[in-house]
Chain A
Amino acid sequence: MSKKLNTSKQIPGFTFVKKLKGISEYTLKTNGLTVLHKEMSDTRVVTSNITYNVGARDELQGESGIAHMLEHMLFKPTKQDLKRKIDSSAMQFERDTGCNLNATTSTDRTTYYFNYPAVYLSRALQIESERMQDVVLSNKEFTPERNNVLSEFDMLNGDPYFALHTQMMCVAFLSHSYGHETIGFREDIEQYTPEKLNLFYKNYYRPDNATLSIIGDVSVEDALTTVKTHFAQLKNPQVTIPRHSIIEPKQEGVRRTEVIRPTSTNILALGVKHTGFPSQDWFTAAILFSILSEGPDSILHKKLVDTGLATSVDSTIAPTTETNLGTIFITLAPDQHHTSTEEKVFEILQSLTTKEIQKLLRSTVASELTDKLFTEGNSLRLAMNLTEYISANAWGKYIQVESILKAITVADVLKLNKTLFDKSQMTIGYFIGEK
């Protein structure tokens, strides 16, 4: 980690916060918008990425997926677009220029990005500022877009891993709002109204709940001056941002669930509750998952796939700020059974040795650091990676990743393995294919 807090560049209208490894943080004085900037010269390309601290965790029961639905609606016309008599300036931007744009929603945050030739910086930021508060959420735009979201839901739900994971999340969380997938339930999506969306929009889309990152071939002066032009006039609503602080009840024994479909696929999934991102334990859990299930040299791959007991092994662990469910998926080979495979997996997990962990820990950390270096040469990938740290209100941790990973020991991994795979605290899912 760089210990040096580099000297700031004072930019009128902004308060300098800190600078770490070339990334500067400022706050826009008029409304508290956080701005990150990193210059990557000689590419003629810029990525601007805005992250709102709102996601699926902020949804009320019966409104699951509304954060994601709203994300779709931010590509619809704003009040300004209606005056201009155009469809949507965000979409128009892509259609006119060929820039890359997209958005993602997770449990804790919603993020929008544009990746474009540097000459379009002002246009991109103008669109971002206008759609922060001025999207017109009318039935005309809402109804076909909801159909698209339903289509997206069906696409995801056709995947057995998604279907099983959805059920497992419901079982794993009795009370906490992490207990549903970001896209929500189909039944809830069908019940949204523009009014519900509008309320959600007004509550969470505001400058003091957002971080704008500008990465690429633009100086800090030019970037921030353009930010000021487009964002300084935005105001925060008087209301306090609603937050649901929910403490998940204690788990008292293993939780199980099944999904049955007419297919030949059979999956065993093991869900464990890991601590929030970006704690040291989260990184250790991510490394443990990788050691167990990522790639042909991972332990479960060698002992299950190479031996013909399973077809594949995979895992997912999300960088969420609070305790969440990380899951290992094992797709059974034909003629294998869920219960015997489950027993086998626990045997493997209980007999991990220092020697095998040591070797894999070294290579997993090396691989993560290589990925990080590849990321840093690409403004879009860097912006996307930073997003998770921004969401956790800890972007400075991104700078520390190398030291965090290198500090993880074999003993840490073995200890966490024992804690996480304590069956009484796990959620176990069976996807059962019935032909």
Chain B
Amino acid sequence: MKYTTFIGEGYNGGSVTRKDERTLHCRITVDLHTEHSLQQSAIEHIYTDALLSGAGKYDRAAFIDAINTLGASIGVSIQNSRLTITLRSIEENVSKLLKLFEIMMNDPKFTSTELQRIQTQATNELIEHKENAKAIAHENFENSLYGTTDRRYTNTPEQISAEIMKATSANLKQLHATAKKGIWTVTIGANTTTVQKVRKSIVICKKGQKSVTLLRTHAQKPQIQKTVLQNIPSKQNIEFAIGTSLPLTLHHPDYLPFVFGLSVLGKWGGFTGRLMSTVREKEGLTYGIYAKTESVEGEEQGHYRIMTFFAPDKAVQGLTSTLREIKKIHKNGITQSEYHRFQTILKTQQTLLADSLTRSVDTLHGYLCADFSLEEIDEYKSRLMTVSRKEINHALKTHLHPDKLIISGAGPTDIMKKELLKIR
């Protein structure tokens, strides 16, 4: 696989090419965030569906059919005010797919009929959302860390539903204009000919658009210790999000050592982290427990989060064990053997990327969205290999803050409420 980067008018990005590759996997991201508001949040909530609901001469059904007939897909999602469009196709149909993508970006319809459909559908989905314990634990956790103007703040389903019903086609058009004017990050996985085709298509979409850099508001709250519980009696397990603010950007010298150290505590996926070895394997208290940093960006500070769940009767024991492991790694740091082991683990993860074009593109896209050049990516990766154990343990000691954790639980919490609130 060959990695390259490029810069164009109103966009930048990179490609992962493989000779004789017969598929295209492309991601395009644009940051829409200025200041989080309820209205903005509601419009973003329905924009993803609206964008796929008819463009040019196509009504919604015809547009979706035109994409599906190719066996291709255009995915649209928004997370924390970042719009991401995913294009996927076999090589033979790339040109036709790109034509549809251009029509979608240059001439979306946002008709009132479709808006009404989306409003009803979105409202129904938000009612369902109230039972999603994992998502609710996560949202309550982030709402404890960020103020209402921050992009990571989530309004209640009722608030968003009410605002969605007020949305107009003009609101959608305005958001779309913002999306077109923003700087696009484009990552393409394909053969070199297809990469050129995608780049031409991006140029067509960005033509005549004067790029705008948006002023962004961040509102990280001071760190405090807090337990938030939301009772959802229909669930069997209590979902937890545990962690605290991480007042670092990607470029802070402590960030990478912290990521390394946090991997030792609870590497996301698999069984290698300490939390999986102890809380799951030795103690049998949960099926999965992982830790990672989130929403730390080039210019934005984020947090770290441990994600797990426990049966109500094991929740006290499970939380106690989790906190014990956090305190232990905070106090003693990682061991020399863990340090060497995780160097190998992180190196293997890099090697395994070569097995999947999709994962390679997604990984490169993550770096490019954080404004890394290829050289910086290489530096970053090699730094992951050369960071010292002392630096890692210093970062854990400075930023883990076991005394300032937010513990957010959602599920049948009322059964154990008193006991859970006592845990520190």
Q: Which residues of A contact B (CB under 8 A)?
A: 43-45, 47, 75, 91, 94-101, 115-117, 143-148, 150-152, 154-155, 157-158, 160, 216, 261-265, 295-297, 302, 305-306, 308, 310-312, 331, 333-334, 359, 362-370, 373-374, 377-381, 433
A261 and B348 in contact, given A151-B311, A377-B21 (Cβ under 8 angstroms): no
B22–A373 touching, CB < 8 Å: yes
Q: Which of A95, A115, A146, A302 contacts B272 (CB 8 A)?
A: A95
Q: List 12 A-B contacts (CB under 8 A).
A: A43-B355, A98-B346, A100-B270, A144-B281, A147-B284, A150-B311, A151-B286, A154-B311, A160-B131, A216-B355, A370-B71, A370-B72
Which of chain B's residues 345-380 have a Cβ closer than 8 Å to chain A?
345-349, 351-352, 354-358
B-side contacts of A98, CB under 8 Å: 270, 272, 342, 344-349, 352
A370–B348 touching, CB < 8 Å: no
B9 within 8 A of A: no
Q: Which residues of B contact A (CB under 8 A)?
A: 18, 21-23, 25, 52, 61, 64-65, 68-73, 88-90, 117, 120-121, 124-125, 127-128, 130-131, 133, 233-237, 270-272, 280-287, 309-311, 314, 341-342, 344-349, 351-352, 354-358, 411
Q: Return B359 CB to nearest CB of chain A, in Å.
A: 8
A265–B128 touching, CB < 8 Å: yes
Q: How many Å lie between the Cα of A261 and that of B73 in the bound state? A: 37
Q: How many Å lie between the Cα of A378 and that of B310 in the bound state? A: 34
B270–A157 touching, CB < 8 Å: no
B-side contacts of A265, CB under 8 Å: 128, 131, 234
A302–B354 touching, CB < 8 Å: no
A366 and B128 in contact, given A94-B272, A147-B285, A157-B236 (Cβ under 8 angstroms): no
Q: Which of B64, B234, B352 contacts A116 (CB 8 A)?
A: B352
Instruction: Give the residue among B18, B25, B90 with the most A Cβ atoms within 10 A.
Output: B90
A-side contacts of B355, CB under 8 Å: 43, 45, 47, 115, 216, 378-380
Q: How many Å lie between the Cα of A147 and that of B281 in the bound state? A: 10
B-side contacts of A377, CB under 8 Å: 18, 21, 23, 356-357
A148–B287 touching, CB < 8 Å: yes
Q: Return A25 CB to nearest CB of chain B, in Å.
A: 23
B356–A296 touching, CB < 8 Å: no
B-side contacts of A297, CB under 8 Å: 61, 64-65, 68
Q: How many Å lie between the Cα of A373 and that of B91 in the bound state? A: 10
Q: Return A184 CB to nearest CB of chain B, in Å.
A: 15
A45–B284 touching, CB < 8 Å: no
Additional pairs, 5, CB under 8 Å, beyond known A116-B352, A148-B280, A365-B71: A94-B271, A115-B352, A148-B284, A366-B69, A433-B234
Beta-carbon nearest neighbor of A118 in chain B: B351
Q: Which of B52, B127, B352 contacts A45 (CB 8 A)?
A: B352
A-side contacts of B23, CB under 8 Å: 370, 373-374, 377
Q: How many Å lie between the Cα of A116 and that of B351 in the bound state? A: 8
Q: Which of A91, A115, A157, A366 contacts B71 (CB 8 A)?
A: A366
Q: Return A205 CB to nearest CB of chain B, in Å.
A: 21
Beta-carbon nearest neighbor of A433 in chain B: B234
Instruction: Give the residue among B124, B127, B283, B346 with the most A Cβ atoms within 10 A.
Output: B124
A151–B285 touching, CB < 8 Å: yes
Instruction: Give the residue among B70, B120, B133, B349 with the most A Cβ atoms within 10 A.
Output: B120
A-side contacts of B271, CB under 8 Å: 75, 91, 94-95, 101
A262–B233 touching, CB < 8 Å: yes
Q: How many Å lie between the Cα of A341 and that of B100 in the bound state? A: 35
Beta-carbon nearest neighbor of A378 in chain B: B356
Beta-carbon nearest neighbor of A377 in chain B: B357
Q: How many Å lie between the Cα of A145 and that of B287 in the bound state? A: 9
Q: How many Å lie between the Cα of A310 and that of B124 in the bound state? A: 8
B-side contacts of A148, CB under 8 Å: 280-281, 284, 286-287
Q: How many Å lie between the Cα of A151 and that of B124 in the bound state? A: 30
Q: How many Å lie between the Cα of A434 and that of B358 in the bound state? A: 43
Q: How many Å lie between the Cα of A116 and that of B311 in the bound state? A: 34
Q: Return B335 CB to nearest CB of chain A, in Å.
A: 13
Q: How many Å lie between the Cα of A302 and that of B308 in the bound state? A: 36
Beta-carbon nearest neighbor of B21 in chain A: A377
Q: How many Å lie between the Cα of A307 and that of B285 in the bound state? A: 44
B-side contacts of A216, CB under 8 Å: 355
Q: How many Å lie between the Cα of A312 and that of B357 in the bound state? A: 31
Beta-carbon nearest neighbor of B233 in chain A: A262
Q: How many Å lie between the Cα of A296 and that of B62 in the bound state? A: 12
B-side contacts of A368, CB under 8 Å: 71
Beta-carbon nearest neighbor of A91 in chain B: B271
B-side contacts of A262, CB under 8 Å: 233-234
Q: How many Å lie between the Cα of A363 and that of B93 in the bound state? A: 13
Q: Return A40 CB to nearest CB of chain B, in Å.
A: 8
A334 and B70 in contact, given A98-B349, A158-B237, A377-B356 (Cβ under 8 angstroms): no
A144–B282 touching, CB < 8 Å: yes
A99 and B127 in contact, given A94-B272, A155-B287 (Cβ under 8 angstroms): no
Q: Which of A143, A374, A378 contacts B284 (CB 8 A)?
A: A143
